[in-house]
């Protein structure tokens, strides 16, 4: 009989793909926010600090997803180097 436990490498590959898709979405969102901040800065004469604030806030808000992607990638690399015994 086949075991019903999923392959840990396949599970991590799926999680990494999902996290990568999430990070691409975050990057698009941050890009749109940066363009908006630059337009606001130009037309409303806001200080240059506005653009840097967008970068800092996005890094703080999305740091959890970035950390999960890094953790998943490292764990996946470790499992590929030393696969679990069957």
pLDDT tens digits along 4-17 = 777 888 899 999 99
Q: pLDDT tens, 40-67?
A: 888 988 888 877 888 899 889 999 999 9
Handedness of CA 48, 23, 25, 63 (dihedral sign): negative
Residue 3: per-residue pLDDT: 61
Predicted local distance difference test score (pLDDT) of residue 29: 92
Instruction: Flag whether pLDDT at 1 surpasses 60.
Output: no
Residue with tokens 């898709």: 21
Contact of 79 with 8, CB cutoff 8 Å: yes
Residue ranges of domains in the chain: 10-81
* CB-based contact 33:54 (threshold 8 Å): yes
């Amino acid at each position: 009989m086949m075991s019903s436990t999923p392959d840990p490498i396949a599970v991590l590959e799926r999680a990494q793909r999902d996290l990568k898709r999430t990070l691409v979405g975050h990057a698009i969102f941050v890009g749109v926010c940066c363009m908006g901040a630059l337009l606001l800065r130009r037309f409303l004469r806001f200080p240059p600090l506005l653009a840097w604030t967008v970068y800092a806030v996005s890094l703080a808000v999305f740091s959890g997803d970035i950390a999960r992607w890094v953790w998943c990638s490292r764990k996946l690399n470790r499992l590929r180097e030393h696969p679990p015994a069957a």
